[in-house]
Chain A
Amino acid sequence: MASKYLKSEQLPAFLESLAKNARVVAPFKRDGVTQYEPWQSGKDVELDVLLAKQSPKEYVFLQTETYLKFGYEMAPVPEGAEGEDAVPYETVKVDPQNEAPKQVIFGLRPCDVRGFVQMDQVFGGYGGFYFDPLYNARREATTLLAVTCREPRSTCFCTSVGGCPSSREGADVLFTQIEGGFFVEPITDKGEAIAEAAGAALTDPTDTQATEANEAKLASATKVDPAFDLEGVRDALHDNIADKRWADLAMRCVSCGTCTYVCPSCYCFSINDSIVETKGDRYRCWDNCFNPVYTEETSGHNPRAKKMNRFRNRFSHKFWYYPDKYDSLLCSGCGRCIANCPTRIDIREVIRVMGAPKEAPAASGAVAASAAAAAAVAAAADTTTEGKEA
């Protein structure tokens, strides 16, 4: 489908039309904090704040998700049973849960979308691993309407990890803010269905509007500073595994795990049971690899008892372990972990130091900003047709 134009005044009507068939989730500002929340008529979507406090990953990968309900009960004694067969006994009934309501997430940024794309590999059976029915049910019921970033923050580094503020990767529709409204590009079949359903709210854009959208994309990409050179990072992390600078970098970490909760691609979880009398739930919930008990075994033995080991594990997971398994990265460059770290640990600094080849000095920003930005926009444009098959 061809690109469209949506007037700013039409946005509430557009969301209203989406809400007829699905739950609509969008960023809203409340008490100074922007968060993704279910949209309701009359609520104003917050697009001026670049990144919500958290990515909308919690709408697909729930913070707490009960996947099994169980209950102990007495088995009925068969009629006419005698002797041992007539003794009632306790049994257990299980009831798997996997509800996935249709939903549309509007207003997420390309890095947030990429967080989903990266989690897709883990939960989606990529490389012959298990296909996770819980995540995928929600993922398939979800449509992602991304919005190009206008004013990237100083903590943004999407272009250093192969992304871009106007990336179409994984998005169903890309919205780009221009004079008076949005330039709307449906990318996937799901996205086209949304655009079609919107009907008259979307109009055909003028050539000027198309040009304006392109310029806006290029402009935003130039505002993302190159953070590090990705080439060779994986091998360097491998070679630097025993390097004592890991301990120096980890020193000011307080193991709070904020970075893992705000990360759009951190996916580690725990599984627990809760039970009241005879009925209970088995649920999975987000976990935090910085917590010392994360790996602590019953015997008291803990493979990652030291903070340095946990610290090294998280960064190595994102740039070495995950790439080895899934041929991709587990970081989309949103910079939330930098902005929210209470001790200002900067993932870019960690990768610049530990991701640099052993003998060489730390990598400098060798790539000119404008060239990198232009290349990123060009790469994003290339994915236009790829998205179709989704």
Chain B
Amino acid sequence: MADTTSGAAKKRLTFADVVPGASTAKAGKLAGNSYVPEIATVVEIIQETPTIKTFRMRFDDPAVMESFSFAPGQVGQLGVFGVGESTFAITSKPSEKEFIQFSVMRAGEVTQALHKLSVGDKVGIRAPMGCGFPMDAWKGKKILFVMGGIGSAALKATIEYCLEHRADYQGVNILYGATHPTNFTYQYDIDEWQKREDIDLTLTIDRECDGWQCDVGMVPAVLERMNPDPANTIAILCGPPIMIKFALISFMKLGFTPEQTYTTLEKRMKCGIGICGRCNVGPKYVCVDGPVFSMAELNELPDEL
């Protein structure tokens, strides 16, 4: 607080101080005008569930497409010109060089406009944004993914990353819950994951359903039945707020510490670059300080998730 009482002016950066093209950002987007989206073309649309579509897009500028890279857990702003932008998790493989992918649940204005797109239509993308998961620091650990519904989108890239670098991690364990068998996203990947012996996959649906072979029950209850060993494990959690709330209680029961339990937050965002002030939780901005947080970090923040 000493600094705040002095009233001394901090030196203001000017255009002269900002080297064009150099990164001034913590989160790694280039300087220049971060508000201006890159134009991209929809190249493929996958209907995942009755309300979720996956969009694959290619940047119109080949140089942008080529240089595009992101860390698992990072997000982007995807927008339809004339309707607006919204924040979505990037769901392509981090190694994917041909396209960038987002999975979108039809809910509000922007997502409805996105759902009306056809292959060949133009969108605007500002990505990547935020900080990803500390994948390097987790080498040698078991990674336990717990996700519900559209929460799978936020963890998709991270799962893909773990599978591509499978030797770096001691184990990959996925618990995925949905309300109904038709509500699982990435069914084509699930089929692959089920065949692999180096992934421990558990699927669950909320209520009994004809022809369903896997678990039945809410994610937190199934998690407790699974009884994972917290030793040398990182748990990553994403799903609807009610699932997160109860899954966290289960994790604490199972002996997981807040330091080894991670989640990724979503907030209503506008600028995505830590300026507009909308996505704050206390002194943290979800767009630049997150969206990835450990529970230990979240416990320090006001109860405004």
> Across the interface, which residues of A come within 8 angstroms of B267, CB to CB?
295, 297, 303
A320 interfacial by beta-carbon distance below 8 Å: yes
How many A residues face the partner with a CB closer than 8 A? 88
**Are B10 and A328 in contact (CB-based, < 8 A)?**
yes
With contacts A280-B81, A299-B107 known, is A162 near B24, CB below 8 A?
A: no
**Are B34 and A130 in contact (CB-based, < 8 A)?**
yes
| Complex CA–CA separation, A133 to B302 (angstroms) | 32
| Selected contact of A273 from candidates B3, B9, B14, B83, CB within 8 Å | B83
B294 interfacial by beta-carbon distance below 8 Å: no
| Complex CA–CA separation, A271 to B14 (angstroms) | 24
Which residue of chain B lies nearest to A273 when distances are taken between CB atoms in the complex? B84
**Are A327 and B10 in contact (CB-based, < 8 A)?**
yes
**Are A272 and B84 in contact (CB-based, < 8 A)?**
yes
Which residue of chain B lies nearest to A274 when distances are taken between CB atoms in the complex? B82
A90 interfacial by beta-carbon distance below 8 Å: yes
**Are A268 and B4 in contact (CB-based, < 8 A)?**
no
B259 interfacial by beta-carbon distance below 8 Å: no
Closest A-B pairs by Cβ, 9 of them: A162-B7, A275-B82, A268-B277, A298-B108, A321-B283, A130-B273, A324-B283, A92-B122, A298-B107
Which residue of chain A lies nearest to B106 when distances are taken between CB atoms in the complex? A298
| Complex CA–CA separation, A274 to B82 (angstroms) | 6
| Selected contact of B304 from candidates A130, A267, A313, A327, CB within 8 Å | A313
Interface size class of B (residues with CB under 8 A): 35 or more
| Complex CA–CA separation, A91 to B123 (angstroms) | 9
| Complex CA–CA separation, A324 to B274 (angstroms) | 14
Q: How many whole Å from B64's CB to the nearest CB in chain A? A: 13
B1 interfacial by beta-carbon distance below 8 Å: yes
| Selected contact of A241 from candidates B32, B79, B302, CB within 8 Å | B302
A residues lining the B interface (CB < 8 Å): 67-68, 70, 72, 89-92, 94, 96, 98, 114, 117, 120-126, 128-134, 136-137, 139-140, 161-163, 167, 169-170, 230-235, 241-242, 267-275, 280, 282, 284, 287, 289, 294-299, 301, 303-304, 309, 312-313, 316-317, 320-321, 323-329, 379, 383, 386-387, 389-390
**Are B275 and A124 in contact (CB-based, < 8 A)?**
no
| Selected contact of B6 from candidates A272, A284, A379, CB within 8 Å | A379
| Complex CA–CA separation, A105 to B280 (angstroms) | 32
Residues 7-20 of chain B, each 1 if its beta carbon lies under 8 Å from chain A, else 0:
11111111100100
> Across the interface, which residues of A come within 8 angstroms of B241, CB to CB?
301
> Across the interface, which residues of B come within 8 angstroms of A320, CB to CB?
282-283
With contacts A234-B1, A327-B3 known, is A91 near B26, CB below 8 A?
A: no
| Selected contact of A123 from candidates B3, B275, B282, CB within 8 Å | B275
> Across the interface, which residues of A come within 8 angstroms of B199, CB to CB?
none
**Are A303 and B81 in contact (CB-based, < 8 A)?**
no
Selected interface stretch from B35-43, B89-97, B151-159: B35-43
| Complex CA–CA separation, A389 to B82 (angstroms) | 43
Q: How many whole Å from A5's CB to the nearest CB in chain B? A: 26
| Complex CA–CA separation, A312 to B304 (angstroms) | 11
Secondary structure at chain A's binding surface: helix, strand, loop or mixed? mixed
Q: Could you say which of A272, A298, A379 has the most chain B C-beta atoms within 10 Å of its C-beta? A: A298
| Selected contact of A230 from candidates B4, B25, B282, CB within 8 Å | B4
> Across the interface, which residues of B come within 8 angstroms of A126, CB to CB?
10, 12-13
> Across the interface, which residues of B come within 8 angstroms of A94, CB to CB?
36-37, 39, 81, 124
With contacts A94-B36, A323-B1, A328-B10 known, is A131 near B18, CB below 8 A?
A: yes
B190 interfacial by beta-carbon distance below 8 Å: no
| Selected contact of A136 from candidates B15, B84, B288, B304, CB within 8 Å | B15
With contacts A67-B35, A303-B267 known, is A323 near B12, CB below 8 A?
A: no
> Across the interface, which residues of A come within 8 angstroms of B281, CB to CB?
303
Q: How many whole Å from A230's CB to the nearest CB in chain B? A: 5
Which positions 257-305 of chain B face chain A at CB distance < 8 Å? 266-268, 270-271, 273-278, 280-283, 288, 302-305
Which positions 213-253 of chain B face chain A at CB distance < 8 Å? 240-241
**Are A98 and B33 in contact (CB-based, < 8 A)?**
yes
> Across the interface, which residues of B come within 8 angstroms of A299, CB to CB?
107, 240
Which residue of chain A lies nearest to B242 when distances are taken between CB atoms in the complex? A301
**Are A298 and B282 in contact (CB-based, < 8 A)?**
no
**Are B108 and A121 in contact (CB-based, < 8 A)?**
no
| Complex CA–CA separation, A329 to B7 (angstroms) | 8
Q: How many whole Å from A347's CB to the nearest CB in chain B? A: 15
B5 interfacial by beta-carbon distance below 8 Å: yes
With contacts A94-B37, A94-B124 known, is A273 near B81, CB below 8 A?
A: yes
| Complex CA–CA separation, A134 to B281 (angstroms) | 26
**Are B304 and A303 in contact (CB-based, < 8 A)?**
yes
**Are B9 and A170 in contact (CB-based, < 8 A)?**
yes
B29 interfacial by beta-carbon distance below 8 Å: yes
B66 interfacial by beta-carbon distance below 8 Å: no
| Selected contact of A128 from candidates B14, B25, B29, B32, CB within 8 Å | B25
Which residue of chain A lies nearest to B270 when distances are taken between CB atoms in the complex? A271
> Across the interface, which residues of A come within 8 angstroms of B111, CB to CB?
298
> Across the interface, which residues of B come within 8 angstroms of A169, CB to CB?
7-9
Q: Could you say which of A123, A232, A270 has the most chain B C-beta atoms within 10 Å of its C-beta? A: A270
| Selected contact of B288 from candidates A129, A134, A268, CB within 8 Å | A129
**Are A130 and B5 in contact (CB-based, < 8 A)?**
no
**Could you pull out 21 A-B pairs where Cβ atoms are within 8 angstroms?**
A67-B33, A72-B82, A72-B122, A92-B122, A96-B35, A126-B12, A129-B288, A132-B275, A133-B32, A134-B35, A136-B14, A230-B5, A270-B270, A271-B35, A295-B267, A297-B266, A313-B280, A317-B280, A324-B283, A326-B10, A327-B4
| Complex CA–CA separation, A364 to B37 (angstroms) | 52
> Across the interface, which residues of B come within 8 angstroms of A242, CB to CB?
303
**Are B36 and A383 in contact (CB-based, < 8 A)?**
no
> Across the interface, which residues of A come within 8 angstroms of B11, CB to CB?
389-390
| Complex CA–CA separation, A232 to B24 (angstroms) | 32
> Across the interface, which residues of A come within 8 angstroms of B31, CB to CB?
130-131
With contacts A129-B25, A268-B278 known, is A233 near B36, CB below 8 A?
A: no
| Complex CA–CA separation, A89 to B278 (angstroms) | 37
| Complex CA–CA separation, A130 to B266 (angstroms) | 20
Which residue of chain B lies nearest to A299 when distances are taken between CB atoms in the complex? B107
Q: How many whole Å from B136's CB to the nearest CB in chain A? A: 21
**Are B276 and A268 in contact (CB-based, < 8 A)?**
yes
**Are A329 and B4 in contact (CB-based, < 8 A)?**
yes
**Are B9 and A128 in contact (CB-based, < 8 A)?**
no
